[in-house]
Amino acid sequence: MSDRNFDPDSTRETARVDVPVLADAYERLEELVTGAGAYLDSSGASKEMAEAFTPYHLLLRNAVVESRQNYEGLGPALERIAEDDELAEAEIVEAMNTLADGTESTFAADGYTPMAEGQHGDSLEAAPSEFDGQLGSGSAAREEGTAR
Amino acid sequence: MSFWDEVAETAEGLVTDPVGTISDRVDDAGEAVDHVRDEFQEEFLEPETGTITPAPPQPGGPYDPTGVPTKSEILAFVETFEPSVRDAMTREAAKELYPGWETYIDMSKDEWEDHKSGVGDNVTVGGEGYGAETITTFKWYDGPEIVLPTVDGMNYYQGYAPMGPDPDSVIGDIELAGQERAKMLVESLRDACDTALEFDDLEGMFHTARAHSDLYAAFDAAQNDLSAALAGIEALGQNWEGDDAEVFREQYSEAVRGALQRHIAIALNLARGADSDLGVQLGLHFAVAGALRNGQARIDELSVRRLFGDQTISVLTTTGLVTSTVGLVPGLGTAAASTIGLLGLLSTAGGIAGVDVTLNPKTELIPSAEKVREVMTTMAEGVVQAAEEAAGFRSEAASQLRDLGGDHMTDIGTVNLVPGSGY
């Protein structure tokens, strides 16, 4: 055990109270941002505006979706850490890294890179919409990495 | 008042204000788009890359498509020009075959009836008239609705104007030529409107603007709603020490609020981008509709000769003369009868028992082909110009949005946009 001044109770409270509030809020925002782009493949914007607007909209949509995903994953991760406050420091780092890997892989899979001028955005269908599987694998990896 | 409101209000003013020539109207259309640009620059030039300070577009109320002239309505309106244009073009074609007979060929039905009755432009009761002579030397054709000289007439007036072909043998060609020339002018205007107004309807743009405004409002509200939760996550881990603590603080404690702020900024930029896009498009719709309405008003002005102005009518009304009746001279057309009636009222101050007087009697005219072409061409050119300007402003708006978005695009893959994704 390191000298982290670790407080399992406050960690657990944050995991159970604060993080779910964020996750729920971002779930609602995800619905709104997805719905807002309903016409962007057709008549939702002028052709001049669409070239800039659609990638920017997709940026927000991806950010919201992935934030929701990470907040949903953060709660269980903090609970797990709180459950065992004697985890080795390196193991916690590994757990946090594993949690982030799911999102990082999503960026790569969607070609989620900065847009150059004149470059077109991905199709709206390319926006991530399902991360449960990745989260599940991340949790499994954490459990495996933190088993004593 | 939001930017969108101001654009709509300005544009509506173009439609409801019927004063001005076609040129004025096209200028007004340019001013409307200028207004869009000015308002856009004022609101949009301050990039939102971090915190939010200016008043946001408000969701709900302003985004109401009711009253906005749609593309289909505008295209349908273009078709209403066809009869007037056809009448003028028919006369243009006829005058090419019968040079020298323009005075008669230009006559409308009203003018022809008045002329036959002998009242014409210089109206007097029991005027000189042309009666039987006119009937044998000229003929009214109901199909193309035009007066042409008869063969007898051309012979009778030989020396005053050259002979032309037998009207009965070419009237079909004249009618067809009028229709084809009218069709070309109307199609040219329709094509200009069709190209200018990109979409069949505005539903998509309204949805995008409304939904992104709602989205921004939701983000803005979340800023307060999530305050306690954000504070809880920010507080967690502050006392932790070591590499793991550093990771948590970087990925979450120190990132969540900043990420939300950027999400809000993006949402606001998107709302304004959609707002500007819709505003320019609506400005264009109203400007095009206004130009067409003004064109219609201009042709209407050229199509009517009124005997009295509003001031004269006001005097007549005040004196009660218009409530009197006068005798109708048998055999006169309606317009002539009304004219005589009012003149009679003016002279007899009471008139003779007879028919009701028509207020502000008028004679329907056929505008010259030259004037009609000028109106149609001016409208089409104005529509094209307005569309080009609107496209320019939309590109300008898009460019600025792209610049703002670039600031956020550089945050991809970092906790600045997605907490927990910084490595």
Q: Indicate the pTM of the whole model.
A: 0.72
Q: B70 contacts in A (CB within 8 Å)?
A: none
Structure tokens at A35: 């719905």
Q: What are phi and psi of B147, to 5 degrees?
A: -100, 135
Per-residue pLDDT, B315: 55
Q: What are phi and psi of B304, to 5 degrees?
A: -135, 135
Contact with chain A for residue B238, Cβ under 8 A: no
Residue B186 is which amino acid?
V
Chain A residue with CA closest to B419: the answer is: A67
The answer to whether B306 touches B332, Cβ cutoff 8 Å, is no
Distance CA B6, CA B28 (A): 15
Per-residue pLDDT, B172: 97
Per-residue pLDDT, B79: 94
Contact with chain A for residue B1, Cβ under 8 A: no
Q: Cα B54–B60–B66 angle (5° rounding)?
A: 120
Phi-psi region of B56 (alpha: psi -120 to 50; beta: other; left: phi over 0): beta
Per-residue pLDDT, B115: 79
Per-residue pLDDT, B389: 79
CA distances for A14 relative to A67, A71, A74, B5, angstroms: 17, 11, 10, 44
Once rounded to an integer, what is the mean pLDDT over residues A74-84? 86
Contact with chain A for residue B387, Cβ under 8 A: no
Place of tokens 């719709």: B285
Out of A19, A45, A114, closest to residue B274 by CB: A45
Please say if the pLDDT value at position A126 is more than 70. no
Out of A32, A45, A56, closest to residue B405 by CB: A56
DSSP annotation string for B75-116:
HHHHHTTHHHHHHHHHHHHHHHHSTT-HHHHT--HHHHHHHH
Distance CA B347, CA B349 (A): 6
Q: B203 contacts in A (CB within 8 Å)?
A: 39, 43
What ipTM score was computed for the predicted complex, to two decimals? 0.70
Q: Do B207 and A44 touch (CB under 8 A)?
A: yes
Q: B84 burial class (0-12, 13-18, 19+ CB within 10 angstroms)?
A: buried
Substitution target in B236, B246, B393 with the highest count of A β-carbons within 10 Å is B236
3-state helix, strand, coil in chain A (%, to 5): 70, 0, 30
Distance CA B168, CA B176 (A): 14
Once rounded to an integer, what is the mean pLDDT over residues A65-78? 93
Place of tokens 């399992």: A8
Estimate to the nearest angstrom the gap between the alpha carbon of B340 and the chain centroid: 38
Per-residue pLDDT, B361: 65
Compute the mean pLDDT over every residue in chain A, rounded to the nearest whole number: 72
Q: B240 contacts in A (CB within 8 Å)?
A: 4-6
Min Cα–Cα distance to chain A from B295, Å: 27
What number of C-beta contacts closer than 8 Å exist between A and B?
Answer: 219
Per-residue pLDDT, A123: 44
Structure tokens at B261: 């702020």
pLDDT > 70: percent of chain A: 57
Structure tokens at A72: 């949903």
B275 closest CA partner among B70, B59, B71: B59
In sign, the C-alpha dihedral spanning A95, A96, A102, A107 is: negative
B287 closest CA partner among B16, B20, B17, B28: B28
DSSP label at B322?
A: G
Out of A4, A60, A66, closest to residue B266 by CB: A60
Q: Do B229 and A29 touch (CB under 8 A)?
A: no
Which segments in chain B show pLDDT lower than 50? 1-30, 33, 36-37, 40-61, 119-129, 320-358, 423
Min Cα–Cα distance to chain B from A113, Å: 7
B149 closest CA partner among B111, B115, B99: B99
Q: Do A104 and B413 touch (CB under 8 A)?
A: yes
Contact with chain A for residue B259, Cβ under 8 A: yes
Q: B281 contacts in A (CB within 8 Å)?
A: 46
Q: How many helices (H) and strands (E) does chain B have?
A: 16, 6
